[in-house]
């Protein structure tokens, strides 16, 4: 069995995470705010985009990886990976804008929640099928 699909999406998501990190760093440098946000609204938005990504992506990638290791079909893994990638991009864009395009942000979160839900269900199904119970 090959383990190549999850690493592909993990790598792409890592590049997004790095880009979000650089956006926070650049704003910190330009405002000379090393810790916190000092009521700088743009810095706060960038920090939250970065943090939200860091809060949701690791669990999603872990669930997708476990599903792949348990033998999930490729189309499901690609669907989950692509939906996570698109969802996180939509959310990052939505939160970064002022005024905030709420439907874009919500679409990003909904896609992320769908990925988490489907990946969790797939893992339950695959774990049971592989003898967990």
What proportions of the chain, in percent to the nearest 5, are helix, strand and coil? 80, 0, 20
pTM of the full structure: 0.94
What does the domain layout of the chain look like in residue ranges?
5-128
Please give the pLDDT value at position 63.
99
Apex 118 CA angle, 125 and 51, nearest 5: 130
Low-confidence ranges of the chain (pLDDT < 50): none
61 φψ region: left (φ > 0), alpha (ψ -120 to 50), beta (else): alpha
CATH of 5-128, one of 3.30.2130.30, 1.10.3660.10, 1.10.8.60, 1.20.120.550: 1.20.120.550
Please give the pLDDT value at position 133.
85
Please give the pLDDT value at position 17.
99
């Amino acid at each position: 069995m090959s383990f190549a699909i999850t690493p592909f999406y993990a790598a792409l998501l890592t590049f997004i995470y790095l880009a979000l990190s650089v956006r926070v760093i650049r704003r910190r440098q330009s405002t000379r705010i090393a810790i916190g946000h000092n009521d700088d609204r743009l810095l706060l938005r960038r920090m939250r985009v970065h943090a939200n990504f860091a809060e949701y992506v690791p669990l999603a990638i872990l669930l997708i990886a476990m599903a792949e290791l348990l033998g999930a079909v490729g189309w499901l893994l690609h669907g989950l990976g692509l939906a996570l990638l698109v969802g996180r991009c939509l959310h990052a864009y939505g939160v970064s804008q002022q005024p905030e395009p709420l439907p874009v942000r919500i679409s990003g979160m909904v896609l992320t929640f769908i990925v988490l839900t489907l990946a969790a269900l797939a893992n339950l199904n695959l774990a049971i099928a592989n003898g967990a119970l």
